Amino acid sequence: MAARVLLAFLCLVLFASPFLRVNAQDEDEDDETDFDFYYLVLMWPGAYCQQSKCCLPTTGVPANDFSIRGLWPYSTAYEEPVTNCNSSPWNATEISELQDELNLHWSNLKCPSNNGVSNWKKAWKTYGACSGMSVAEYFNTALELRENVNILSLLAKRDIEPTLLYLYSVTEMKIAIKKGIGASPQIRCSKGPEGKFQLYEVYICVDNKDGKTIIECPVEQNFTCSDFIYFTPFNANNLTTTNYNNPIDMVV
């Protein structure tokens, strides 16, 4: 009996949900910030500098750590980030208090050396304006999330440290991060030394209600990666304004 009631209820929910969804969309028609969660995307500069030229930012040496690639409002239905909402204009003055933190943790290593501002402006215009936050809130939220997550130390706790002496299991990396944040991260790889894959980016899902709570990701990104990958060394002090000659190239 109970099972039947449950079944009937489930059928109702399944039947009704597409209509509920349509209604919700109708109501939100003018709301450009319709998304289901945030992706905090963190990038490992060791991989970035291994696969492309990178340069010391004009603002100085960034942190020897994962850096912020972005905070993306993401639509589960469309399976992609919600982008290019033109609601709030970019205003650099609003992030002046966050400048030092941004230089350390959301720097742009692209050559030629630059001060990162065009990168932040682009991040705001593409993703931030759709986040439902103000400019200051958006960048502050990303900085705080990165600090709370602290991937590098979570990996180090399980003896996963940058080296080319051996490859690491992607599963072990995910477990190490999950132990710390309570949810599974998604790992994006790139082609690294010796044609093997390397850790490139870590995707973490965040509740869209508070921009703080880490959640299990509602969608799976189908990144190509092997079971064992490199965690390529990086030393921010080695960056130069001309071109960071990653010594790893010589290993290949």
Q: Which of residues 81-110 bind ligand NAG (CB under 6 A)?
A: 91, 93-94
Residue 118 as a binder of ligand NAG (CB under 6 A): the answer is no
Q: In this structure, what are the phi and psi dihedrals at residue 93, rounded to the nearest 5 degrees?
A: -60, -30
Residue 193 as a binder of ligand NAG (CB under 6 A): the answer is no
Among 219, 225, 228, 243, binds ligand NAG (CB under 6 A): 219
The neighbouring-strand residues paired with 68 are 42
Among 75, 114, 150, 238, binds ligand NAG (CB under 6 A): 238
Size of the chain, expressed as the number of residues it contains: 252
3-state secondary structure of 41: strand
Minimum CB separation from ligand NAG for residue 248, in Å? 7
Say which residue the tokens 């501002």 belong to.
117
86's tokens = 């033109």
Q: Please report, for residues 59, 91, 99, the alpha-carbon distance to residue 96 in angstroms, rounded to integers and kept in the order given.
A: 14, 10, 5
Stretch that binds ligand NAG, among 7-15, 170-178, 184-192, 231-239 (CB under 6 A): 231-239
3-state helix, strand, coil in the chain (%, to 5): 40, 20, 40
Cα 53 to Cα 96: distance, rounded to the nearest angstrom: 28
Q: Please report, for residues 35, 145, 220, the alpha-carbon distance to residue 83 in angstroms, rounded to integers and kept in the order given.
A: 10, 21, 19
Residue 247 as a binder of ligand NAG (CB under 6 A): the answer is yes
Q: Which of residues 45-64 bind ligand NAG (CB under 6 A)?
A: none
Closer Cβ to ligand NAG, 86 or 93, answer by number: 93
Closer Cβ to ligand NAG, 17 or 134, answer by number: 134
On whether the CB atoms of residues 68 and 151 are closer than 8 A, the answer is: no
Residue 153 as a binder of ligand NAG (CB under 6 A): the answer is no
Closest CA to 65 of 43, 41, 49: 43
Q: Count residues near ligand NAG (CB under 6 A).
A: 14
Among 79, 97, 144, 194, binds ligand NAG (CB under 6 A): 79
Among 15, 209, 220, 224, binds ligand NAG (CB under 6 A): 220
Say which residue the tokens 């009631």 belong to.
5
Residue 36 as a binder of ligand NAG (CB under 6 A): the answer is no
Q: What is the binding site for ligand NAG (CB under 6 A)?
A: 79, 91, 93-94, 219-222, 233-235, 238, 246-247
